[in-house]
Each structure stands twice: as C-alpha cells, then as structure tokens.
Chains A and B, each alone.
Chain A
Amino acid sequence: MSQTVIPRLAIKGLTKTFGGVRALDSADLTLLPGEVHGLLGTNGSGKSTLIKVLSGFHAPDEGTLEIDGRPVALPMPLGRSEAHGLAFVHQNLGLLPEATVLENLIAGDHERLNPWRINWRAEAERARKLFAEHHLKLSPQQVVADLSPVQRAQLAIVRAADRVQEHRSHGVPGILVLDEPTPFLPQEDVRELFAMIRRLTARGVSIVFVSHDIDEVLEVTDRSTVLRDGKVIGTYETAATNRADLVEAIVGRAVAADRRVLALSPAAPIAEVRGLSGEILKDVALSVQPGEILGLTGLIGAGHDEVPMLIAGARAASAGELSLNGRTYDLNQMAPADSIAAGIALIPADRQTAGIAPDLSLTENAVLPLLRGSLAINHRRNRRTTADVMRKFSVKASSPDQPAAELSGGNQQKLVLGKWLQLEPRLVLLDEPTQGIDVGARQEIYDHLLALCAAGGAVICATSEFEQLEIIAHRVLVFDRGRIKAELKGADVTKAAIAKACYEVAEEHA
C-alpha cells in the first residue's frame, strides 16, 4: 500500500465527553481500501463510542471524518451512513427471528425497493445469486429462527455488504463495521465467518473488526488500532506484532486505584455453589466466606454475569446447588421468594425494569419486600421506614412519596440498595452495580458494601469494570466461555492483572 492511496475512512481528532468523562480523546483512525482493521480495547476504552459516532448515534464534541477523501459533516444524521457506503453489523445482528431470510435481507432497503410493489420472485432470485456469490448455504424462504448462529451472523453480514455493495451512490466497494460478531460462536464457525470476511475484502470491501479476542484479531486483520481510556494507543501492522504487545497496549501500565479492602483471614465459607450451569455457564463451583467481596468478571459472553441471576433464582439454572447457612438449595428449582427467605438479595443490572418501578413512589418501591401478606398496611410507618432508608443511604429526593422515576440513576440505585440491605441479607449479589452512576454515588455504594462485609455479610459482584474490582474485591474469578479460568487474590487484584487475566484466558483457545 503506497503513500498515495486515499484512505476509505479517515477519522481525525475525534473527542466525545459524557458528563465530564472523556470517552474519546482526539482519536484518529485510518481505514485503507480492502483491509480488515481490528479495533481493540477494554470495556470503556472508547470502542463503542467511536462506532456510535460513525453510525450517527452520538454527536462528537470535536473531530473530522473523511470518506474516500471527501469530508463528511458530523454528526452523521441517523440512517445516513449507508448513503456514505458505511454499514454496521452489531453483536445482536439486528435480525427479526420470526421473519424469513428474504424478508430480513430486504428489510429497510429503501434505496432499491419500490415501496408500492415488491417483486418477491425477483427478490428471491436476487437473494439466491447473492448467497451463491458469497458461498452461503442460505435459502430465501427459511425462517431466521431456524438458522444456526453462524448462519445468522453470515446473513447479517451479507445484508450489510449488500446494502453498500458497489457503494451504490459512488461506485466503489462499501465499508463494513463488524462490532463483536463472534463471542457466541464456536471456533469452527468463527473460521467460516473469517473466510467470508476475506472473500469480501478480496472484492475490495474494507472492514472495521471490533473484538476483544486478540487471537481472532491476529488471525483476520491486516492492521489493528488499540484504544485505552478514549485515546488511541497505537495502530499496528498485524504481521509485525504479537499477542504480548497487543495485551500490553490494551491493558497498559494502569495507575493503581485506591484499594479499599483489608486483608481477610481465611474462614469457613458462608455460601458454596456447586455444579452451576446456565445458558453460558458450565459446571461452575465457587464459594464466598463471611466478610468477603468476591468479584466475578470476564469479557463479553464469558458468563460471569449469569451467576447472580442464577443464585438468586431470578432465572432457573439448568443445574446447580447452593449451600447457605447449612441448608442446601437446588438452583434449578429456586424462585426469588425462596432466595429472599434464605437471606439472599439481588441488585440487578437493569435498574429501569428490574430494580425499580419508575411510576411508583419511593415508599412503594422500598417497602415491597416488607409487606409479606399484610392486611392492614400502615402507610405512616412505611413512609417513616422509607425516610430512614433514604437517610441511611443518602437518597436525595424531596419526599418518600415522589415517583422513583424522578430520581437520578445514582439515587435510584442507592434506593434499590437500601430496599435490599434493610432486610439484613447474608449474601448480596450484584450485577453491574454502578452502571451509569456518578462517581460520588459509586463511592457511597462501595461504602455500604464494605460496611455490610464488616458486619459479617458476603458479597458477590459481577462486573466488567476492572477498576471497581480493584477497589472493592478481596478476590476475583475470571470467567471465559462459561468456566472459571483464573483466580486473583489480595494484592494481585489490580485493574491491570484482571485485564491481563481476561485476555490471557482468551488465548487458550488458539
């Protein structure tokens, strides 16, 4: 590739700030014709912000974009990216499972279709030709729900490629952005997908390949750009780099966070889980001792986030047993009411639908678990109880009668925490407890968790925020594809070590 080549995509100085945090800090990215360009980085490195700026979802604070040497005004209006020859395949693929392959293929192809009359026969013929060109064994009349996961991924990619094929408006091949298309695919299927990607680049298509899997990036890309804390750390020729360099670039020499946990003397576990299997988890065993905060983490699709849901009975495990306080529970049969009775509390990740009922008042939200079968609710007492919770957990609100929707995310989460901790649970399970929460509220939530542990309770916290674990976890289990692959303890619990363990774990698949 000579110096005179005009890049397909040139991003310069892209900056985006969310509430004082720089998600992107003057990031540059250049995509050459016909190349597969890897985009690497941990959670919060700025990968997704960059993609969302390209798709028009976020408006950048600063920065320029050029496509094929022509400047493109930012923010990109939503839905306009295809006209610039830019198409996206997100992790969820964006397919409608109940519809047929053909219906999914042409959905939203406004540029080409006559909205008043769809010639289904001609469209089916066109689809067959398209699938043959890409060596895909797909039939237009198949229902997407009946396809294998890799076939769905192929369909989503071929649809995106088709949309920008011949770059309809400019007469040049399109640009595809593949955002984590592989984490739920088995190895042999990933190979099949890569073969498809190479055939696309052979036709001149340029691809941005977003992934957390270094091996995949080494295998399929020509160059890779690594982001960390919103900054571009570097762009590397794949052939001239190796796994260790990339891991180092991704993880960096992180500044140590302010670790807030004290050493713990070994004790008998308060809770033990054996043989836990779910949608991703396979035969996992773990235990936690009184006063301990156990962190669970992993990359996307690792399954660590399934653990709290399954232990709390929020979803039925396909198998598994929990021992708590000398009693044994079958996690296949556990219901939320059973786990509450056992002294377990779950703080779910999805605050808006699983944490609080936004329409209902703070009091109604806070006292629901206290009501049991009451036939004479004492509203005055409940309001007092709620006021206590609000004071203890510093929930800022004008009154206990305010609808929960009117609170900020941090205050909502403190309310959820208060609702559960007032029951004095023995085991608290958290899933991404600080998502979308400001720094101050985070610290307060940590304070409460540490206080709970000081009082002899135990905490299991699933999160993909490594820094959080460095601050509050005594011990961290790193998951990969449904299994525990590493354990970090005490002083080894650092952001860098966790990130390293996550990425090294992924290497074992090579």
Chain B
Amino acid sequence: MHKSDLSYQLERFGLVIVWLAFIALFGALRPDTFLTWSNFSTIFGSEAVLVIVTLGLMIPLTAGDFDLSIAQIVTLVSMTIAILDARMDLPLVLVLPLGLALGALIGLINGAITLYFRVHSLIVTLGVGTFLHGITLWIGNSQTISGVSPILMEWVIIQRVLGVPIAFYYAIGLAILIWYMLSYTAFGQQLLFTGRGREVGRLTGVAVDRVRLVAFVLSGILGAFAGILYTGTTGSANPSSGTFLLLPAFAAAFLGSTCIRPGRFNPWGSVIAVYFLVTGINGLSVLGFRTFVQDLFYGGALVLAVMISQLVSGRKDRGL
C-alpha cells in the first residue's frame, strides 16, 4: 500500500490512464458529439444503476462467493415497485422500503441455501436468478409497466447537481460507504479473510458463515436499490432490463480489481471500471459502430481483466 515505486503506481492508475486516453482519442475524432458535457452527464447519470450493481456484486466476491442473481433482483424489484406504485397506487414511502426488503430477503435465501446445503453459490444464485426472472415475467405479465410516480423520476434522474443527474451521486455515496466498510471496519476485514483465508479467519474467531450470509443480504439490498433507480430512470419497469446488467457488472468488478488496490475487489476500481467500459462503448457508437461493440467490449474486458489479475498474482508467486 505504501510502495511508492513508479511501476506500482502505474499499475494502480493504469486503468485511469487508459480511460483518459480513450476520452482523448474519441474527443479528437468526434469533438462535437463525444466531448460534450451533456454526453458525459448522460453517461454518468444513466450508468449509476450499473455502478451500484457492480458494488453489490463486489461484496460477495470479496467473501469468495458469486451472486449471479443480482441482475434479476434489479429487475424483480423494479417490476414489483412499478406494480405497487403504478397499479396499486401505494405511496412511495411504503413501496421503496418494501423493494429494499425484497432484495434483502432474496439475499437471505441465496445465503441460506448456499450455507445450509453447502452448495457452491455460483449454482445457487444462477438458479435463483432464473427463478426470479420467471417471477418477474409472471407478475408483470411479460410487459413493461409504466406510469410510475414522477416523484421517483424527479429524485433519480431529473434533479441535477452540476448538470449531472442525482442518481450518480447516490452511486458515489454508496461507493464511499462500501469503501469505508471494507477499509475501516472489522466487518470489512472479516469479509476479506472469509474470501482469502477462510480457515485462518474461522480459527481467529470470525463467524465465516454469518459473514457470507450478510454479504449475500447486502448484495440483495444493493441490487434492490439499483432496481429502484432503474425504475426511476425510465419511469417504468421492463421485464428484461436486468438481463443486460450481469456481464457488464462482472466485467467491471474484475477489471476494477486490477487497479487502485490491485489484487482486491475495491469500490473505486469498480466505479472507474464501469465508466471506462461505458466510455469505450459510447465512444465507439459515436464513431458509428453498431450494438455488437457492447458484447465485444464487455466480454473482452472480463476475460482481459481476469488474465491481468492472474498475471499480477503470478508475478507475486514468482517473487517468492
């Protein structure tokens, strides 16, 4: 952490440098469309959902678990609150806490199945996620539900600070909270040991099962929060919206673990990785590339990120 040699600093900020290089490149090629504040404020605001999903995913990843259901938690919560608000006319003060509670409940179920039956979380959350998608289609009748209270939109996308939609600040606020939790609380260290030295943690008195359970619940709550923001961004709930979040979130989490605090899932790395990926896609589409660049970019970034992190840890091994 306190190494000051140049190569380590380059490693820490490599992604930031590449990001700035991308901005310079696209800006030079399309200064009038790409390099505008409105383009950037749109990117910052609209991708707040992806940032929050990535932050949510990072918590179980730190504890050594996968939560593949998080994108479907986003969709289900988005659909549920849209139905409760637009169809049933329940007030937002009731609907939003219900949405968060639903996310927490799903996290609890993921954790309980993983821990009680000792099944790998990858399989459990893959199944639970697909199940949740089924519920979403069922309760929403496979349709987009619109007519959500404009107050929600007001407090997600319409209100702006320095020209950037307020949703962006929610994401940054959460990143600060999670950064603090991981860096300055005993729970953060317990998460880390649960993921990277589970037996050491257990023998040192860390209740590793409880830590893993809490990690699932937190990712459920963050997924639900992202679902609320998603509904607020568009004023409606779309039954397939979350499906396109999972891979980008994984790509960003792993790419994020190669910078700022290389070798660890970390919130600032994740935030930078999200905006790096989105900038790249936005820039390429401004240049006229079509939608397939999304898949190329996200898929490629995920594979590249795990390759880089393997190289980084491999270099450490050889250093022994």
A residues with CB within 8 A of B: 312, 314, 335-337, 340-341, 346, 348, 350, 353-361, 364-365, 368-369, 371-377, 379, 399, 401, 403, 405-406
Report the number of A-B residue pairs with Cβ-Cβ less than 8 Å.
85
Give the residues in chain B near A346, CB-CB below 8 Å. 203
A348 adjacent to B203 (CB under 8 Å):
yes
| Closest B residue by C-beta to A363 | B1
Verify if B200 is at the interface (C-beta below 8 Å from A).
yes
Contact A376:B184 (CB < 8 A) given known A359-B197, A405-B316: yes
> Given contacts A354-B199, A355-B200, A357-B200, could you give 12 more A-B pairs where the C-beta distance is less than 8 Å?
A336-B204, A356-B197, A360-B196, A360-B197, A361-B1, A371-B186, A372-B186, A373-B186, A373-B187, A401-B1, A403-B316, A405-B320
Q: How far is B199's CA from A371's CA once the two chains are assembled, in angstroms?
A: 17
Residue contact B185 to A374, C-beta cutoff 8 Å: yes
Give the residues from 1 to 25 in chain B that come closer than 8 angstroms, CB to CB, to chain A. Answer: 1-3
Whether the Cβ atoms of B2 and A399 lie closer than 8 Å is yes
B residues less than 8 Å from A373 (CB atoms): 186-187
Q: How far is the CA of A375 from the CA of B3 in the complex (A)?
A: 26
Query: With A354-B203, A358-B197, A359-B197 in contact, is A364–B189 under 8 Å at CB?
Result: yes
- Closest A residue to B206 using CB positions: A368
Q: B187, B190, B203: which contacts A312 (Cβ < 8 A)?
A: B203
- The majority secondary structure among interface residues of chain B is helix
The answer on a CB contact under 8 Å between B204 and A369 is yes
Given contacts A340-B204, A340-B205, A406-B319, contact A357 B196 (CB under 8 A): yes
Which of A314, A350, A364, A379 lies in contact with B192, CB distance below 8 A?
A364
B30 at the interface (CB under 8 A from A): no
Cα(A312)–Cα(B202), bound, Å: 11
Contact across chains for A377 and B316 when beta carbons are under 8 A apart:
no
- The CA-CA distance from A340 to B263 in the complex, in Å, is 31
> How far apart are the CA atoms of A85 and B189 in the complex, in Å?
53
* A377-B186 CB under 8 A given contacts A356-B197, A406-B319: yes
Interface string of B181-216 (1 = CB under 8 A from A): 001111111101100110111111111000000000
What is the distance, in angstroms, from B243's C-beta to the closest C-beta of chain A? 33
Would you mind naming 23 contact pairs between A and B with Cβ atoms under 8 Å apart?
A336-B202, A350-B199, A354-B199, A354-B203, A356-B197, A357-B201, A360-B192, A364-B192, A365-B200, A368-B193, A368-B200, A368-B201, A369-B204, A371-B190, A374-B186, A375-B184, A375-B185, A376-B185, A377-B185, A377-B186, A377-B188, A401-B3, A406-B319
**A405 proximity list for chain B (CB < 8 A):** 316-317, 320
**Residues of chain A with a CB closer than 8 A to B185's CB:** 374-377
A359 touches B196 (CB 8 A): yes
